[in-house]
A and B are shown apart, each in its own frame.
Chain A
């Protein structure tokens, strides 16, 4: 059974500091890995999707990397802002149409 783990569960940083969020998965047969943002009481917003053939994806201050051999993905958020405060979830896609989600990392950026 595929497991996706996100550590830490919660993270608090001062504004301006870079954020590093980790996601690990147990199945190396990956199709893609997706990072989402969720604000309290809201749905999920897709941030970045990395295909199995890629090593990283970038969008603005966000950069996500994928290392299939070690079963890890990392989301970097540069120069964090209070508006970056949210829960960040990674989701792993292997065979079929289903994603397996991690438990999320709750981020607080203090002004």
Chain B
């Protein structure tokens, strides 16, 4: 069966510090991978998605970047965090099967930038 791992679960970082959140998927190959952010009181916002190694699409201009160094590994990074980067970050994957592709989420990382 497929599983998705995301860590850390919580993170408190000072403004201006770097960020690295990691997500890995097991039990499948060539998944589509996604990073979402869920700010308090707001819906999910898609930040990045990837359809293959080294292929990253950015949805919104921001202080963050993403990389996919391996097929089942997706990394969210920042060189210098801003207060506005605080939020709940979710990694997700889907398997392309035409229309019927469900989205499966990791457990999330609560990031607080102080």
Interface residues of A, Cβ cutoff 8 Å to B: 31-32, 34, 36, 41-46, 49, 51-53, 89, 91, 93, 97-99, 101-104
| Docked-complex contact B99 and A44, CB < 8 angstroms | no
By the criterion CB–CB under 8 Å, are A34 and B103 in contact? yes
**Which of A41, A53, A98 lies in contact with B59, CB distance below 8 A?**
A98
Mark contacts of B19-52 with chain A using CB atoms, 8 A cut-off: 1 yes-contact digit, 0 otherwise: 0000000000000100000000011101001010
Interface residue ranges, B against A (CB under 8 Å): 6, 32, 42-44, 46, 49, 51, 59, 88, 90, 92, 94, 96, 99-108, 110
* Residue contact B32 to A41, C-beta cutoff 8 Å: no
A41/B108 in contact, CB under 8 A: yes
Q: Which residues of A are found within 8 Å of B104, using beta-carbon distances?
A: 46
Q: Are B105 and A32 in contact (CB under 8 A)?
A: no
Contacts A97-B49, A98-B46, A101-B44 known; A43 to B107 CB distance under 8 Å?
Answer: yes
Main secondary structure of the interface of B (DSSP, over half): strand
Interface of A is mostly: strand
What 16 additional pairs, Cβ within 8 angstroms, besides A46-B103, A89-B44?
A32-B100, A34-B103, A36-B103, A41-B110, A43-B6, A44-B90, A44-B103, A46-B102, A46-B104, A51-B99, A93-B101, A99-B46, A99-B103, A101-B43, A101-B44, A104-B43
Question: Is the CB–CB distance between A97 and B43 below 8 Å?
Answer: no
A98 and B99 in contact, given A43-B107, A46-B104 (Cβ under 8 angstroms): no
- Distance of B9 from chain A, by nearest CB (Å): 9
10 contacts between A and B (CB under 8 A): A41-B88, A42-B108, A43-B90, A43-B107, A44-B90, A44-B105, A45-B105, A46-B103, A97-B32, A102-B43
A43 adjacent to B108 (CB under 8 Å): yes
**Across the A-B interface, the 10 shortest Cβ-Cβ residue pairs:** A43-B105, A101-B44, A44-B105, A103-B43, A43-B107, A43-B108, A31-B99, A101-B43, A46-B102, A51-B99
A103 touches B103 (CB 8 A): no
- In the complex, which residues of chain B have a beta carbon less than 8 angstroms from the beta carbon of A42? 107-108
How far is the CB of B87 from the nearest CB of chain A, in Å? 12
Give every chain B residue within 8 A of A51 (Cβ-Cβ): 99-100
